[in-house]
Every structure is written in structure tokens, then in C-alpha cells.
Amino acid sequence: VDHLREYGVSVDQVDIDGEFLAMARNRTFFTQFNDGAYEYDRLNTTVGDAFTHLRHSEEQYDLVLLDVPGARSDDSLSLYSREFYSLLRDHLTDRGVVATWTYSPYFFAQHNKAYVNTVRAAGFVHHLEYSVYHDLDGDGYRERGERFYVLSDGPRPTPDLSRAASPYLNETAPRYAERTWEWNRFPHYRGVEPNSVFDPNYDLIVDP
């Protein structure tokens, strides 16, 4: 939110953990990172379950940013379900996209296959993959870290980093400039069932 407010956009934030949201507003350790973003006058915060919220909302979004925990128990499987991603798709504008963190297909192959078949079954045909770069071992060199997908059921915009600015982007811009932004169709993995709230695929659960 601290970055989105620079563009004057309206933001709906949904988080099930109201206690953590309160700590983020009041504890010095957290406030040093959020730059008072919770005071943004175009931010609407809802404490509740994202699945339930979407079922009762009629809002349409140009961008949905998913920051959901990894699926490590049955409790979080609904947020990795075909039904949830179908709801997300229904709430996008004609040019809307979803951006989400995802497990690596190299280290969590079965999870990734189940996830891909799930979002594909929900109607998200294309994805654009990107990563962030971290100094993982303290040697002053940023290495490829966590992986993200941008999901689309139609539009495939090309990212324009010249319209965004942050200390992170200023430092890593050459890394992103070197690559070609390419949208790809999701594959279909035979013998891998999509995850559904009515028929869970427990391959989505990753052991801690």
C-alpha cells in the first residue's frame, strides 16, 4: 500500500489476522516498514476470510495482489482452490490481472503441478513469471530469490518499470532490463487433479 498510494489508486485490503494488522499499525518494529500506509485515505481494510469476502462483493479490480501463506495444512487449501481462483477471475475488470507468490516448480514439483492445473481449470490460461533478487548470503550480490506469477484470462500487458520507482527497483533495474517479458500458456499435467473445496488435492500441501 505504501507504494500503491503514490498512484492515487483505491485499495481494498482483506486479511484474516486482525491482531497482526493492529500490531502493524502500533508497533515500532513494523511501522518502520509500512511508512504509515494504513493511514492512506483510499485504503479500505476488511478483517475476514478472502474467499468469503469475494463471495459477497461486487467490486471489480484492475489488479489483485495475493499474499497468502503457503499451503501447509487443510486450513489454507480453500485459497488454493479452483473455486477461489474462479471468484478472483469474476472480480477482474476486462484488463485485470492477478499477481501471486508461488512455490518453485523445481523444489516443489508436485505442488506446482497441482497449482497450475487448478488455476488453469479456473480459467487463467496465461501467466507471466518473474522473480525478486535478494542478497541471500550477505556477499553484496543479489541472487534470484522468490518466484511470482502474473495470471491472466485474456489481456497480456507488458510490464513498464519506467513508470515505477523504489529503492529496490532502482538497484535491480538492470536485472529486469536484461530479460524478455514473456507470457506463456499454462501446461496441463495429465493425472493431476485440480484442487477443489469439494474434492481437495492434498499435493498442494507442502510440509514445513
pLDDT tens by residue, 150-186: 999 988 988 887 777 777 888 887 777 766 788 999 9
Whether residue 198 is found in the same domain as residue 160: yes
Top mean pLDDT of 13-17, 79-83, 152-156 is at 79-83
Counting the structural domains of the chain, the total is 2
122, part of any domain: yes
Whether residue 7 is found in the same domain as residue 86: no
Which residue segment(s) compose the domain that 21 sits in?
1-48
pLDDT at 57 over 80: yes
State the burial class of residue 7 (Cβ atoms within 10 Å of its Cβ: 0-12, 13-18, 19+).
exposed
* Res 2: pLDDT: 67
Per-residue pLDDT, averaged over 73-101, amounts to 94
53, part of any domain: no
pLDDT at 96 over 80: yes
pLDDT at 3 over 90: no
* Res 194: pLDDT: 97
Full DSSP string of 58-115: ---EEEEEE-PPP--SGGGGGGGSHHHHHHHHHTEEEEEEEEEEE--TTTSHHHHHHH
DSSP 167: H
* Res 134: pLDDT: 86
pTM of the model: 0.88
pLDDT at 16 over 70: yes
Instruction: Identify whether the C-beta of residue 194 lies closer than 8 Å to the C-beta of residue 82.
Output: yes
175, part of any domain: yes
Q: Tell me the one-letter amino acid at 93.
A: T
The residues annotated as belonging to the active site are 67
SS3 14: strand
pLDDT at 138 over 90: no
Whether residue 108 is found in the same domain as residue 151: yes
Q: How far is the C-alpha of 153 from the C-alpha of 122, rounded, in Å?
A: 9
* Res 208: pLDDT: 59
